């Protein structure tokens, strides 16, 4: 357990992922101040010992390590660079750790802003959804200086058991996008296969059985795949966020001159699903889009 005079942590963004992640930091004994745009979400964190901050700037002014976990690039820029944002309050020598899934370009922009205050920056997006966030078993993909990661390791270790230094600033974000590319392909492939199985008159349980027996088996089939078969689309990872990640993969692909035609087709499927009103359902709800015929 961290002593009460250990590094002071600020945490901004208490959504599906941020709330359980911040709770781990508080339970580990780090002095923690939290802020969320919708103030009601702060309440459960106060019960595990966190303090409430008035604004991102106020939280940053009191912290040695400031963590952001919001939705997309424009949101993290609003919280960090906007009025009363982190940049206004952060102390010289402090670290901003952005754990949201954003583009490498956004990570580099945030890092540049931090240097104007002699503060450090780490991009540290996560692999794993609501379950691993609640269990503290996320995989954390870091981009930045090794020395910055070492300073942050004690607090990051409360949220994740595997921490991978991908490279310099932005590389954690790039590795995260490549990882979610695989997840989007898995979800789209499973959903199309399931549609085919059903329309061919097969029992979906046989489909799961054969995937489990295959060399490409994955625990994903038993959790998300079984949920798709039962049409359970309760949100662990919102469809709008996966769509955002697919857009960011396309942006990065353009920057580094990588052709991703299959990923582009999957992005179109997610765009249609979002336009059809499924933005806030789980990303597995793309099955419903395929069933209605895209
Ligand atoms: P979420 O449940 O939608 O929560 C988003 C959080 O960001 C909320 O606290 C929200 O505040 C805040 N926010 C959004 N826009 C904001 C703005 N302009 N200003 C201030 N606060 C803002 O999302 P999540 O599932 O926790 O995901 C957070 C990040 O982690 C995303 O980048 C996502 O892609 C990534 N991620 C998610 C998962 C997953 O399985 N869910 C897994 C890995 C990575 P309000 O409460 O006021 O709306």
- For position 3, what pLDDT does the model report? 52
Q: Secondary structure of 36-99 in the HEC alphabet? A: CCCHHHHHHHHCCCCEECCCHHHHHHCCCEEEECCCCHHHHHHHHHCCCCHHHHCCCCCEEEEC
Rounded to the nearest angstrom, the distance between the alpha carbon of 69 and the centre of ligand 1 is 6
The rounded distance, in Å, linking the Cα atoms of 107 and 118 is 16
Spans of all domains in the chain? 9-167, 174-292
Residue from 51, 91, 130, 176 carrying the catalytic annotation:
176
The rounded distance, in Å, linking the Cα atoms of 247 and 103 is 10
Q: Is 176 part of the annotated catalytic residue set?
A: yes
- For position 284, what pLDDT does the model report? 97
- For position 2, what pLDDT does the model report? 58
The pTM for the full model equals 0.97
The rounded distance, in Å, linking the Cα atoms of 96 and 172 is 14
- For position 5, what pLDDT does the model report? 60
Rounded to the nearest angstrom, the distance between the alpha carbon of 70 and the centre of ligand 1 is 4
Q: Do 9-167 and 174-292 have matching folds?
A: no
Domain 9-167 sits in which CATH superfamily?
NAD(P)-binding Rossmann-like Domain (3.40.50.720)
Nearest to 204 by CA among 97, 138, 291: 291
Q: What is the mean pLDDT, run by run of 10 residues, along the chain of 294 residues?
A: 76 98 98 98 98 98 98 98 98 98 98 98 98 98 98 98 98 98 98 97 96 95 95 95 98 98 98 97 96 85
Residue with CA nearest ligand 1 atom 17: 75
- For position 128, what pLDDT does the model report? 97
The rounded distance, in Å, linking the Cα atoms of 150 and 290 is 45
Question: Domain 174-292 maps to which CATH number in 3.60.150.10, 3.40.1160.10, 1.10.1040.10, 2.90.10.10?
Answer: 1.10.1040.10
């Amino acid at each position: 357990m961290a002593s009460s005079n250990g590094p002071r942590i600020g945490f901004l963004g208490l959504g599906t992922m941020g709330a359980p992640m911040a709770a781990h930091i508080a339970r580990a004994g780090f002095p923690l101040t939290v802020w969320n745009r919708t103030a009601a979400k702060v309440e459960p964190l106060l019960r595990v010992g966190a303090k409430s901050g008035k604004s991102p700037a106020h939280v940053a002014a009191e912290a040695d390590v400031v963590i952001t976990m919001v939705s997309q690039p424009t949101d993290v820029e609003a919280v960090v660079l906007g009025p009363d944002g982190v940049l206004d309050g952060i102390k010289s020598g402090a670290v901003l750790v952005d754990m949201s899934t954003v583009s490498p370009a956004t990570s580099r922009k945030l890092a540049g802003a931090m240097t104007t205050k002699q503060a450090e920056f780490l991009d540290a997006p996560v692999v794993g959804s609501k379950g691993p966030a609640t269990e503290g078993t996320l995989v954390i993909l870091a981009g930045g200086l090794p020395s910055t990661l070492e300073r942050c390791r004690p607090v990051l270790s409360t949220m994740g058991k595997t921490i991978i230094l991908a490279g310099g600033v932005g590389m954690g974000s790039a590795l995260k996008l490549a990882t979610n590319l695989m997840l989007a392909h898995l979800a789209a492939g499973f959903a199309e296969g399931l549609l085919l199985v059903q329309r061919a008159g097969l029992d979906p349980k046989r489909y799961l059985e054969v995937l489990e027996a295959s060399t490409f088996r994955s625990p994903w089939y038993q959790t998300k795949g079984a949920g798709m078969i039962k049409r359970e689309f309760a949100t662990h990872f919102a469809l709008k966020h996966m769509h955002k990640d697919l857009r960011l993969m396309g942006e990065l692909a353009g920057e580094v001159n990588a052709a991703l035609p299959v990923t582009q087709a999957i992005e179109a499927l997610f765009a249609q699903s979002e336009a059809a009103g499924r933005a806030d359902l789980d990303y597995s709800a793309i099955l419903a889009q395929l069933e209605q015929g895209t």
